[in-house]
Amino acid sequence: MTWAVESQRKNYGKALVELGRTRKDIVVLDADLSGSTRTVEFAKAYPERFFNCGIAEQNMMGTAAGLALGGMTVFASTFAVFATGRAYDQVRQSIAYPDLNVKIVASHAGITVGMDGASHQTMEDIALMNAIPNMTVIVPADGPQTYRAVLAVAERPGPAYIRMGRSDVPVITSDKDEFVVGKASVMVDGSDIALVGTGQMVVPCLEAAEMLKQKGISARVINLSTIKPLDTATLIKAARECGAVVTAEEHNIVSGVGTLVAAALAESYPVPMQRVGMQDIFGQSGESDELMKEYGMGTKDVAAAAIKVMERKK
């Protein structure tokens, strides 16, 4: 399968400029990484509403809270490992607890940060943000969906976390596709097994579905772009109709998306499951594609997990 590739970060910058044009309450903060996060596009267009907070992520989150209290809709950006790890206390206490209108859009998440190594490859950010009350958590699958997700959270009151990767990713959604917070989308219908992917792992799920088709296995592919609130209705329907589920995430499987899906199904419709993702270990420096293969997050790994679960289903 062949797709065009596109940057999630560039789509984020594009969405910010569009928001800045239509809404005067939009302000953007960055922790001295605007060139990487692409908030630089907003800074060029609306310099009076852009603030570089320097390498001081905790202060940036506190500043974001203050601006939100003053009636602004704030977008705050840095690398995911800093936004969720270094500034966790400020996000929890100053933004989420008072339920403020701050949107944290973090880039360079997951193992595909590549050469930056384990210190920058955050595999815990979804779990950290998901555990905070009032927080919306979104992991778009590609560039166009990132654009639509940014516009959507701008209209939604309260704090939100959007996770982006570093690498360009295949474009698998259309500009015509509607993005609804809290709603998963079925990319491919199927009846034997459901492959539930999030973020960059949606593509391996689509490719695995093609591989499984050659073996006579009909796989349903679900793009789980909103992690919180979780679309339990779509997940339960897939479990009931397919009888087996594989989850795929570029994140630690401990307290990750697979765990959330398993918990939701355990309460309503338990079926055989397998989780594809980081197996509770740190990464290492390397090329993105090499690391995905090394840690078992490739197309063949998703397909193998599906076959394994199918055996349990029988």
CA separation for the pair 199, 205 (Å, rounded): 11
Longest dimension (CA), the chain: 62
Is 41 considered catalytic here? no
Exposed (0-12), middle (13-18) or buried (19+): which is 24, by Cβ within 10 Å? Answer: exposed
CB of 51 within 8 A of CB of 63?
Answer: yes
Phi and psi at 187, nearest 5°, equal -85, -40
CA separation for the pair 162, 135 (Å, rounded): 10
What separation in angstroms does the CA of 110 have from each of 121, 124, 140, 207, 227?
5, 9, 13, 20, 16
Quote the tokens at residue 182: 């809290």
CA separation for the pair 150, 154 (Å, rounded): 6
What separation in angstroms does the CA of 175 have from each of 145, 161, 162, 172?
8, 22, 19, 10
Q: What is the DSSP letter of 299?
A: H
Exposure class string for 34-51: b at 16+ Cβ within 10 A, else e = bebbbbbbbbeebeebbb
Strand (E) or helix (H) holding 226: strand 226-228
Catalytic residue, chosen from 6, 18, 57, 155, is 57
Quote the tokens at residue 172: 């698998």
Annotated active-site positions, please? 57
